A and B are shown apart, each in its own frame.
Chain A
Amino acid sequence: MSSVLELAGVSKSFGGLKVIDDVSFAVKRGSRTALIGPNGAGKSTLFNLISGVYPLDAGRIVALGTDITDMAVPKRIGHGIARSFQNIRLMPHLSTLENLMLGEHHRASPWALARGARATANARAVLAQADLDTYPGQVVADLPYGIQKRIEVARAIMARPSILLLDEPAAGLNSSETAELRRMLERLSESGVTLLVVEHDMPFVRTLCDHVVVLNFGRKIFEGTPEEVHRDHGVLEAYLGPAAEIPAGVAHAA
């Protein structure tokens, strides 16, 4: 099985607005794929469809060989799909460790203790791995934005996913935090986790990802390597406007 995630003819409308229009692509196992496109292209919606937050109007989603189109939401994480969110969605009143422990919650028994050395061992390990030198017992709402963002990614890692969906993980991070995040993701990728990343930060995408899918107005308009994407006329038009406005010479910039 060379692809961990396949979307085939996926469509979704909200009311009269078709937000995702017949999107198909496959994410190869072990790849680092970026999902890019102008604001409103439908990237976050696609993540929500893959997580099961919204049902599909048409098409199918296959993850690790299983058709998950109709799979119940709480089951998908056990199937190997974990994600982070564009706006940080940590549990504000829970501590760092507790937020992390939520990542492995689906594997644990309800009556197991959620306190103490044994229960928090995994979370502490991931915390250390992620170089999050922050207070494990501290309520996350009190922590700085950059740290919260990384805790969110760490939470998804706790699920030991086969594929990790990251929605703008670098948004709002400064350059050293971004470098830290990239290192974390590279280590993850080397350990076998497939990455699907929504991002606007093109340098970040270029240094991290080996494959790019481009959406515009809910449609896939291009798919290829970061260099190919950069040169494609359609993509440039999507971001910059009709061809007449693109200054000569830009179209061939690397």
Chain B
Amino acid sequence: MSGYLAGLLAVLAINIIVAYSVFVPAAAGLLNLGAAGFVLVGAYGAGAMTALFGVPLWLALVLGSLLAGTVAFLISFPILRTRGIYMVLATFAFAEVVAGVLLNIPALGGAAGLSVMAYAGLPLVVPVALCVIGFVAWLMSTRFGLSVRAIHDDENVAHLFGVNLRSTQVAAMTIGGAIGGIGGALLVHQFNFIDVQSTGVLFSIYVLLYVLMGGTQTVWGPLFGAVFFTLAPEALRKLSELDPALKFLESSRYMTFGIAVVLLMMWRPQGVITRTMIERLAGSRKPVAADAGAAA
């Protein structure tokens, strides 16, 4: 496999992981405009461990994830006191505070960033991404997943039917944070570098956008979003190399993404992958009783 392709695949795998970190709370109706926050905690946490304390890579991944998860757990209580637009702003503010704090820790490199030696290549990154996908798929197929989606649709009725709102929401945010931490830990060891600038506001915005574009109704949405967001610009770039006349395709990669977002929000705000689509593909539109015969 060429270096270019390997690099692309690694980025894709990490984008997928980060997508799921935003998906789990989003599935409960909690929008996170500060994904970078948990990614940075995981990245700096794991990076510091391998670079400064000589911890083995696999352990640093686990610890980075636990650290991010703990931070998510702690911050979820105050953040869950907010709702709607206030919550979006609060998650945004949280990510900025994390960035601000990290910038001021000299041992972690400050504004210049943190460099690490340990390397996480495809053999590590891809299996972890697959594990994350599998874990979230399992999670959403449990009663907990049902609680999450019930809260998303109608908090009050879910509450009446016995769903514990607070603990489900805290759990969703904590799990999302821990997954973000995994993504960050892999990120820093894939590029051997992390800094606050490159994983900041724009990063958070892009992640939220491609998760929402993919669709938060099913587990497949974020996968689609991450794949599309990672590969489509590259595809455009390759296309533009075929012919000088197509040069505009390369420079307009992000513009095209922006336009796609606007159009999607106009015509298909629930995202590309919806429940109905999956049901249709899985062919589960059948009547209950085998002898019913008549449709509704």
Tell whether any CB of A sits under 8 Å from a CB of B in the complex.
yes
Pair B285/A137 contact, Cβ less than 8 Å: yes
Pair A114/B296 contact, Cβ less than 8 Å: no
Q: With a CB–CB cut-off of 8 A, which chain B residues contact A74?
A: 159-164
Closest to B145 in A: A114
Pair A102/B158 contact, Cβ less than 8 Å: yes
**Total count of chain B residues near the partner, CB < 8 A:** 36
Bound CA span A111–B146, Å: 10
Bound CA span A137–B288, Å: 9
Q: With a CB–CB cut-off of 8 A, which chain B residues contact A106?
A: 161-162
A11 in contact (CB, < 8 A): no
Given contacts A91-B153, A137-B285, contact A73 B292 (CB under 8 A): no
Pair B146/A93 contact, Cβ less than 8 Å: no
Q: With a CB–CB cut-off of 8 A, which chain A residues contact B142?
A: 110-114
B104 in contact (CB, < 8 A): no
Q: With a CB–CB cut-off of 8 A, which chain A residues contact B275?
A: 93, 95, 139
Closest to B165 in A: A74
Q: Which of B126-150 contact A (CB under 8 A)?
A: 141-147, 149-150
Closest to A132 in B: B288
A13 in contact (CB, < 8 A): no
Question: B159, B279, B292: which contacts A95 (Cβ < 8 A)?
Answer: B279
Binary contact track A91-124/B, C-beta < 8 Å → 1, others 0: 1111100100111011011111111000000001
Given contacts A77-B162, A114-B143, A133-B294, contact A89 B286 (CB under 8 A): no
Pair A98/B160 contact, Cβ less than 8 Å: no
A171 in contact (CB, < 8 A): no
Q: Interface segment, A35-43, A57-65, A142-150, A215-223?
A: A142-150
Binary contact track B149-173/A, C-beta < 8 Å → 1, others 0: 1101110111111111000000000
Report B172 CB to chain A, min CB distance, Å.
12
Bound CA span A134–B287, Å: 5
Pair B143/A111 contact, Cβ less than 8 Å: yes
Q: With a CB–CB cut-off of 8 A, which chain B residues contact A128?
A: 288-289
Report B247 CB to chain A, min CB distance, Å.
43
Report B158 CB to chain A, min CB distance, Å.
7
In the assembled complex, 22 residue pairs joining A and B whose CB atoms fall closer than 8 Å, in A order, are A91-B153, A91-B157, A91-B158, A95-B275, A95-B279, A98-B149, A102-B150, A102-B161, A103-B161, A105-B163, A108-B143, A111-B143, A114-B145, A124-B288, A128-B288, A132-B288, A134-B288, A135-B296, A137-B279, A137-B284, A139-B276, A147-B296
Q: With a CB–CB cut-off of 8 A, which chain A residues contact B147?
A: 105, 110
Question: A73, A98, A133, A137: which contacts B146 (Cβ < 8 A)?
Answer: A98
Report A67 CB to chain B, min CB distance, Å.
19
Closest to A98 in B: B146
**Total count of chain A residues near the partner, CB < 8 A:** 47
Q: With a CB–CB cut-off of 8 A, which chain B residues contact A132?
A: 288
Pair A77/B284 contact, Cβ less than 8 Å: no
Pair B154/A112 contact, Cβ less than 8 Å: no
Given contacts A114-B143, A136-B288, A143-B296, contact A94 B160 (CB under 8 A): no
Closest to A142 in B: B276
Most buried by B among A75, A94, A109, A127: A94
Report B216 CB to chain A, min CB distance, Å.
9
Given contacts A103-B161, A113-B142, A133-B288, contact A92 B153 (CB under 8 A): yes
A211 in contact (CB, < 8 A): no
Given contacts A95-B279, A101-B146, contact A133 B161 (CB under 8 A): no
